[in-house]
C-alpha cells in the first residue's frame, strides 16, 4: 500500500480477520452474525410486508413473493418429485433465499460505512462457517429424508446398480458437503476479493463490470446450492424399484 | 464501537478457514429461519397460490360445462327453429292451395251461374220469339182473311 501515492478509506483489503465474540470458551465470528441478522431482518421485513394482506388478486409485494414461491416450488418439484416436494420446499426455499440475500446483500450494501474494531462486514456466505453449516444441514436432511422414508433400505442406494459402487458412494457422502460448501464460499469470497482489488487499483468505473459479474455469480450460486440440495434430498427419497 | 468486542482476552489468530462455534450456531440460525419462513412465507403464500390455482381450474371446468350446455341448447333451438320453419312453409302451401281451390270454386260457380242465366235468357228469348212468330202468323192469317174479304166485297 505504501507503493501508491494515496490510499482510499474504502479500498483496504482484509482477509481472515474476524471480529471475535467469546462466550465461555467458544469463539464466534461476530461480523458474520451481524451482517446475517441485518440481511435476515430485511428478508423477514419484505416477507411481512408482502404477506400482510394476502388476496386472490395479488398486489404490490405479494406479486414478488408469489413469483418467488412459484420459482422455488418449481425448483423443488423438479428435483425432488411431485410426491415429496411439499415437505422439503421450506428448507430448499430458505436455503435459496438466505444465500441469495446474503450474496446480493454482501455485494450491494456499502458495509464499509459501519466501522468494526476488528474484521469487516460482508456477505455471510463469504465465511467458511456459514457455508459448511448449510452444507452439513443438507447432508443431515438427505439422510433424514432417506431414512425416514425407506428405513434401513435407504442404504441399498450404496450398492446400486452394483456393489462395486460402494466405496465411491461412501466417498461421495463426504465430497457432497465439501463441494457444496467450498463452491459457495470460494465463489463469494473470490468475488469480494476481485472487486476489492479492482477498487483498490482503479476506484472508478473499471470495477463495475466485475461487480455486475459478481451479482450474476451470486445469484447463480444461490440457485446452484438450492438445486443441488434439492437434488441430493430427491436422491435420498428416490425409489429404486 | 468497542462494545461489539464482548471480551478482549485471548483473541484467536483468525484466518480464512477458521472453523469455530460460528458453524453450529449458524446451522441453528438457518434451521430457525426455515421454521420462521415456513410459517410466515411458504405456508400462507402457498395457500393463496394453490387456492387460486384451484379456483381457476374449477372456474374453467364450470365454464366448459356451461359452454357445453349452451351448445346443446343452441342445437336444440336450431332444431326447433327448423321444425317451425318447415311448419310455416307447410301452412303457407296449404293456405295457398286453399285459396286456389276457393278461387277455382268461385270461378266455377260463377261460370255455371252465368251459363244458367244465359241459357234461361236464351230460352226465354226463344219462347218469346216463337210466341211472337205464332202471333204474327195469326195476325198474317187474320190480315189475309180481311184482305180477301175486302177484295171480295169490292168486287
Where in chain A are the domains? 20-237
The pLDDT score that the predictor gives to residue B17 is 81
Distance, C-alpha A147 to centroid of its chain: 25
Q: Is B26 on the interface with A (CB under 8 A)?
A: yes
Nearest CB to A20; choose among B11, B19, B26: B11
The pLDDT score that the predictor gives to residue A196 is 85
ipTM for the whole predicted complex goes beyond 0.90: no
The pLDDT score that the predictor gives to residue A57 is 83
How far is Cα A129 from Cα A35, in angstroms, rounded to an integer? 14
Residue to mutate among A129, A141, A177, A225, with most B CBs inside 10 A, is A129
* pLDDT class of A12 with cuts at 50, 70, 90: low
Q: What is the pLDDT of residues B7-18, one digit of tens each?
A: 444 567 777 788
Name residues whose C-beta falls within 8 Å of residue A196's C-beta, 6 or more positions apart in sequence.
A11, A13
Residue that has been written with the C-alpha cell 443438507 in this structure: A138
Distance, C-alpha A6 to centroid of its chain: 36
How far is Cα A158 from Cα A166, in angstroms, rounded to an integer? 5
Query: Do residues A65 and A49 make contact, with C-beta atoms less than 8 angstroms apart?
Result: no
Rounded to the nearest 10°, the torsion over CA A127, A130, A136, A142 is -120
Distance, C-alpha A71 to centroid of its chain: 17
Give me the mean pLDDT over the A31-53 stretch.
92
Q: Which residues of A touch B26 (CB under 8 A)?
A: 32-33, 36, 124, 129-130, 133-134
How far, in Å, are A80, B69, B72, B138 from residue B75 at the CA level? 49, 10, 5, 93
Range among A4-8, A51-55, A178-182, B138-142 rated most confident: A178-182
Note whether B27 contacts A133, CB cutoff 8 Å.
yes
Note whether A130 contacts B22, CB cutoff 8 Å.
yes
Q: Does the structure show a pLDDT above 60 at A201?
A: yes
Please confirm whether the linkage preceding A161 is cis (ω < 30° from 0).
Answer: yes
DSSP SS3 for A79: helix
Note whether B6 contacts A23, CB cutoff 8 Å.
yes
With CA atoms as reference, the chain A residue closest to B41 would be: A47
Nearest CB to A137; choose among B31, B41, B51: B31
Distance, C-alpha B87 to centroid of its chain: 14
Report the 10 Å Cβ neighbour count for B18. Answer: 17
Residue that has been written with the C-alpha cell 410486508 in this structure: A49
Q: Does the structure show a pLDDT above 50 at A211?
A: yes
Query: Do residues B27 and A133 make contact, with C-beta atoms less than 8 angstroms apart?
Result: yes
Report the 10 Å Cβ neighbour count for A125. Answer: 32
- Cell numbers standing for residue A56: 386472490
* Residue that wins the pLDDT comparison between A108 and B14: A108
Note whether B41 contacts A51, CB cutoff 8 Å.
yes
Q: Is B6 on the interface with A (CB under 8 A)?
A: yes
The angle subtended at Cα B30 by Cα B27 and Cα B35, nearest 5°, is: 130
Give me the mean pLDDT over the A225-238 stretch.
92
Nearest CB to B21; choose among A26, A91, A115: A26
Q: Is B38 on the interface with A (CB under 8 A)?
A: yes
**Helix, strand counts (H, E) of chain A:** 6, 2
The pLDDT score that the predictor gives to residue A5 is 47
Q: Is B56 on the interface with A (CB under 8 A)?
A: no
Q: Does the structure show a pLDDT above 70 at A64?
A: yes
Give me the mean pLDDT over the B129-139 stretch.
90
Q: Does the structure show a pLDDT above 50 at A2?
A: no
Note whether B49 contacts A36, CB cutoff 8 Å.
no
Amino acid at each position: 500500500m505504501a507503493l501508491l501515492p494515496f490510499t482510499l478509506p474504502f479500498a483496504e483489503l482484509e482477509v481472515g480477520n474476524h471480529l471475535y465474540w467469546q462466550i465461555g470458551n467458544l469463539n464466534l465470528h461476530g461480523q458474520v452474525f451481524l451482517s446475517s441478522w441485518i440481511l435476515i431482518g430485511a428478508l423477514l421485513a419484505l416477507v411481512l410486508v408482502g404477506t400482510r394482506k394476502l388476496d386472490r388478486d395479488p398486489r404490490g409485494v405479494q406479486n414478488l413473493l408469489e413469483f418467488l414461491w412459484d420459482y422455488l416450488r418449481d425448483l423443488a418439484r423438479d428435483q425432488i418429485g411431485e410426491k415429496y416436494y411439499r415437505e422439503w420446499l421450506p428448507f430448499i426455499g430458505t436455503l435459496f433465499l438466505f444465500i441469495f440475500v446474503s450474496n446480493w446483500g454482501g455485494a450491494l450494501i456499502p458495509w464499509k460505512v459501519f466501522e468494526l474494531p476488528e474484521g469487516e462486514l460482508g456477505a455471510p456466505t463469504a465465511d467458511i462457517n456459514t457455508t459448511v453449516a448449510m452444507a452439513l444441514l443438507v447432508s443431515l436432511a438427505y439422510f433424514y429424508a432417506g431414512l425416514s422414508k425407506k428405513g434401513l433400505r435407504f442404504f441399498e442406494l450404496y450398492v446400486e446398480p452394483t456393489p462395486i459402487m460402494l466405496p465411491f458412494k461412501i466417498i461421495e457422502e463426504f465430497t457432497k458437503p465439501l463441494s457444496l460448501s467450498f463452491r459457495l464460499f470460494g465463489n463469494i469470497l473470490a468475488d469480494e476479493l476481485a472487486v476489492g482489488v479492482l477498487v483498490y487499483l482503479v476506484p472508478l468505473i473499471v470495477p463495475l463490470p466485475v461487480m455486475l459479474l459478481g451479482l450474476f455469480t451470486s445469484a447463480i450460486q444461490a440457485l446452484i446450492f438450492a438445486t443441488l440440495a434439492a437434488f441430493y434430498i430427491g436422491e435420498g427419497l428416490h425409489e429404486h424399484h | 464501537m468497542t462494545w461489539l468486542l464482548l471480551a478482549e482476552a485471548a483473541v484467536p489468530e483468525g484466518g480464512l478457514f477458521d472453523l469455530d462455534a460460528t458453524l453450529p450456531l449458524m446451522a441453528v440460525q438457518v434451521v430457525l429461519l426455515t421454521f420462521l419462513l415456513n410459517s410466515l412465507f411458504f405456508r400462507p403464500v402457498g395457500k393463496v397460490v394453490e387456492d387460486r390455482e384451484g379456483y381457476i381450474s374449477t372456474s374453467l371446468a364450470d365454464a366448459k360445462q356451461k359452454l357445453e350446455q349452451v351448445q346443446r341448447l343452441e342445437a336444440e333451438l336450431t332444431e326447433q327453429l327448423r321444425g317451425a320453419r318447415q311448419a310455416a312453409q307447410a301452412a303457407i302451401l296449404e293456405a295457398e292451395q286453399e285459396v286456389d281451390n276457393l278461387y277455382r270454386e268461385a270461378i266455377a260457380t260463377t261460370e255455371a251461374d252465368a251459363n244458367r242465366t244465359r241459357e234461361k235468357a236464351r230460352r226465354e228469348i226463344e219462347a218469346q220469339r216463337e210466341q211472337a212468330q205464332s202471333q204474327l202468323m195469326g195476325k198474317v192469317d187474320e190480315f189475309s182473311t180481311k184482305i180477301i174479304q175486302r177484295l171480295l166485297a169490292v168486287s
